[in-house]
């Protein structure tokens, strides 16, 4: 026989009495029962969030366990359970496409006879740069995929973000072939997701397109940078003339004034609807051969380590050629304008005071009298001008970046005597130049580029924030995610 014990309080409650009401004791004397304890709700003072807040990933949400029931609510995604002191929240996969988004999660606690308690916390959800990166290799070139995988291993880029495409030539794609090649690439990138912002072609992938874009001056079809067209994604095969680069930020070298650099995600969130398509930052991992390209990845890894510790060191070399005193400001695209882009590099770094700066403005280049004959411990370089020539006087430090303003500084980035090609062979970490006659207007604003790097931009962001013309001649060799000053 089961015996059920019923207390006076439970009987009183069963008959409609409640805590705090007057009730009779066993002798018939009226007494007031103790109010239930609600102090346990005070434990609901914080929500713990464990896991990486990346779209599609799982986060563990928890509160201190106590004598109360918990109900959870989130704006999107799915919960393993809507109740309990600890639940799993699977983040939605369609958020933070361009920039980080903040999602709020709420825990509500309740206990019988007590007022409820509620607490919320914000979770910032974002895709880290390495997951916003797609790597492009040529499926028909032995070693190209090896370079892609080596770079992906360094940056922890998922295998799904590696995109193979095939071209009939490893250097230059003809206009008739370009649309088909581009379709291979964009189909893969689209399958990865709309959040992709960086595209990294590697050794084996062509870097020029012929016959697609008309020359800036004479209007006849010319050969331009494939990477500069790839910036426009699906629209790349519909670009037939030079256009203003939509990612460019304004700057003025003589006065040393520049608009702040803008991250690619912010650019896309602001201009995407206007141009009805996505834009990408495109810089490549390249070199004389597959082994050289993988060596470039290894140099970048060493530079990354130095950068994180704030230990990048060396000398800044600036090589103008218009003489002293400095020329008048000049108009956009003129020689004086180009010289001021070089002069501005000296001004940027002397203003910072971080490194020694060696600047020379006579007509001779470094390595040729009366200019300095050697450039040891070079960290950064900006200069001009001799065509398709590299004076072999630089010793490149870890993390070195440099570009030479001439009409063929990167016509052949894999062999020959072009400045960027030889600099890569000599150990530079990143370089940039023109694949064909760019005119001065087609080159980046060197001072603005280095200014943005020192302000905390990635190599890819600084590259395109500082280049006025789009769909034109520039090829940027180096890891787009390399950020020399991450603490900034």
| pLDDT by 10s per residue, the chain, length 488 | 333 222 222 222 333 344 344 444 444 544 444 445 687 787 788 999 999 999 999 999 999 988 889 999 999 999 999 999 999 999 999 999 999 999 999 999 999 889 889 999 999 999 999 999 999 999 999 999 999 999 999 999 999 999 999 999 999 999 999 999 999 999 999 999 999 999 999 999 999 999 999 999 999 999 999 999 999 999 999 999 999 999 999 999 999 999 999 999 999 988 755 554 689 999 999 999 999 999 999 999 999 999 999 999 999 999 999 999 999 987 889 999 999 999 999 999 999 999 999 999 998 999 999 999 999 999 999 999 888 899 999 999 999 999 999 999 999 999 999 999 999 999 999 999 999 999 999 999 999 999 999 999 999 999 999 999 999 999 999 999 999 999 98
Is 486 contained in some domain?
Answer: no
pLDDT tens for each residue of 294-309: 999 999 999 999 999 9
**β-strand pairing of 208-214 with 221-225:** antiparallel
Dihedral pair phi/psi, residue 211, rounded to 5°: 80, 0
Query: Do 191 and 63 belong to one domain?
Result: no
pLDDT tens for each residue of 202-250: 999 999 999 999 999 999 999 999 999 999 999 999 999 999 999 999 9
**β-strand pairing of 133-138 with 117-125:** unpaired
The predicted structure's pLDDT at residue 6? 26
Dihedral pair phi/psi, residue 437, rounded to 5°: -55, 110
Q: What angle do CA 139, 160, 162 make, to 5 degrees?
A: 35
Query: Do 261 and 332 belong to one domain?
Result: yes
Is 333 contained in some domain?
Answer: yes
Which are the contacts of 166, defined by CB distance < 8 A and separation ≥ 6? Answer: 138, 139, 140, 181, 184
Query: Do 336 and 294 belong to one domain?
Result: yes
Distances (CA, A) of 5 to 10, 14, 77, 391: 10, 13, 47, 99
Burial class (CB in 10 A: 0-12, 13-18, 19+), 42: exposed
The SS3 assignment for 302 reads helix
| Closest listed residue to residue 341, CA positions, set 411, 404, 268, 296 | 404
DSSP 285: B
DSSP 434: E
Count of domains for the chain: 3
The predicted structure's pLDDT at residue 23? 43
Q: Give the count of beta carbons closer than 10 Å to the beta carbon of residue 189.
A: 21
| Closest listed residue to residue 189, CA positions, set 223, 164, 155, 215 | 164
Is 294 contained in some domain?
Answer: yes
Is 42 contained in some domain?
Answer: no
* Cα-based torsion angle of the residue sequence 265, 271, 273, 277 in order, rounded to the nearest 10 degrees: -70
Query: Do 194 and 299 belong to one domain?
Result: yes
The predicted structure's pLDDT at residue 273? 56
Query: Do 10 and 78 belong to one domain?
Result: no
Tell me the C-alpha distance between 208 and 211, whole Å: 10
Within a 13 Å sphere around the CA of 334, how many CA atoms are in the beta-carbon half?
9
| Domain's final residue, options 75, 108, 125 | 125
The SS3 assignment for 476 reads strand
Query: Do 82 and 194 belong to one domain?
Result: no
The predicted structure's pLDDT at residue 2? 32
Residue 325 lies in domain = 130-477
Which run of H or E residues covers position 187?
helix 175-192
| Structure tokens, 283 | 């810089």
Query: Do 173 and 252 belong to one domain?
Result: yes
Query: Do 403 and 360 belong to one domain?
Result: yes
The SS3 assignment for 282 reads strand
Is 355 contained in some domain?
Answer: yes
Query: Do 92 and 147 belong to one domain?
Result: no
CB 359 within 8 A of CB 381: no
Tell me the C-alpha distance between 354 and 349, whole Å: 7
The predicted structure's pLDDT at residue 275? 55
pLDDT tens for each residue of 405-417: 999 999 999 999 9
The predicted structure's pLDDT at residue 467? 97
What's the whole-model pTM score?
0.90
Query: Do 275 and 198 belong to one domain?
Result: yes
Distances (CA, A) of 158 to 129, 278, 367, 461: 12, 21, 44, 22
CATH of the domain at 96: 2.60.40
């Amino acid at each position: 026989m089961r015996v059920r014990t019923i207390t006076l309080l439970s009987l009183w409650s069963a008959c409609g009495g409640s805590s705090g009401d007057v009730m009779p004791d066993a002798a018939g004397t009226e007494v007031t029962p103790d109010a239930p304890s609600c102090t346990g709700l005070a434990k609901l003072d914080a929500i713990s969030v464990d896991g990486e807040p990346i779209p599609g990933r799982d986060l563990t949400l928890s509160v201190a366990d106590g004598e109360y029931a918990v109900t959870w609510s989130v704006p999107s995604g799915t919960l393993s359970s809507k109740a309990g002191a600890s639940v799993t929240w699977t983040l939605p996969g369609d958020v933070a496409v361009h920039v980080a988004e903040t999602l709020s999660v709420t825990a509500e606690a309740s206990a019988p006879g007590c007022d409820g308690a509620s607490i919320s916390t914000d979770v910032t959800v974002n895709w880290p740069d390495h997951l916003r990166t797609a790597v492009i290799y040529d499926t028909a070139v032995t070693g190209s995929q090896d370079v892609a995988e080596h770079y992906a291993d360094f940056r922890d880029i998922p295998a799904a973000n590696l995109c193979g495409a095939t071209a009939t030539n490893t250097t230059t794609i003809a206009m008739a072939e370009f649309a088909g090649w581009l379709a291979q690439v964009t189909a893969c990138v689209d399958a990865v997701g709309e959040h992709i912002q960086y595209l990294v072609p590697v050794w084996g992938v062509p870097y020029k397109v012929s016959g697609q874009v008309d020359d800036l001056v004479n209007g006849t079809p010319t050969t331009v940078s494939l990477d500069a067209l790839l910036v426009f994604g699906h629209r790349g095969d519909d670009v037939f003339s030079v256009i203003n680069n939509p990612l460019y930020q304004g700057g003025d070298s003589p006065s040393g004034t520049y608009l702040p650099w803008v991250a690619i995600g912010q650019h896309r969130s602001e201009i995407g609807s206007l141009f009805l398509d996505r834009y990408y930052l495109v810089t490549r991992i390249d070199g004389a051969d597959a082994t050289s390209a993988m060596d470039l990845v290894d140099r970048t890894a060493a530079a990354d380590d130095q950068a994180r510790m704030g230990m990048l060191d060396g000398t800044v070399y600036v090589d103008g050629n218009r003489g002293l005193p400095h020329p008048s400001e000049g108009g956009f695209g003129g020689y004086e304008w180009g010289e001021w882009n070089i002069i501005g590099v000296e001004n940027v770094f002397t203003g910072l005071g971080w490194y020694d700066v060696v600047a020379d403005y006579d007509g001779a280049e470094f390595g040729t009298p009366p200019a300095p004959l050697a450039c040891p411990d070079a960290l950064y370089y900006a200069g001009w001008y001799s065509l398709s020539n590299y004076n072999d006087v630089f010793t490149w430090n870890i993390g070195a970046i440099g570009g030479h303003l001439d009409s063929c500084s990167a016509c052949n980035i894999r062999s020959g005597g072009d400045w960027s090609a030889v600099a890569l062979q000599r150990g530079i970490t990143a370089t940039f130049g023109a694949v064909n006659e760019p005119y001065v207007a087609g080159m980046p604003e060197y001072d603005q580029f280095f200014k943005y790097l020192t302000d905390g931009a990635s190599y890819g962001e600084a590259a395109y924030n500082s280049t006025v013309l789009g769909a034109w001649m520039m090829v940027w060799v180096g890891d787009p995610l390399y950020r020399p000053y991450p603490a900034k």
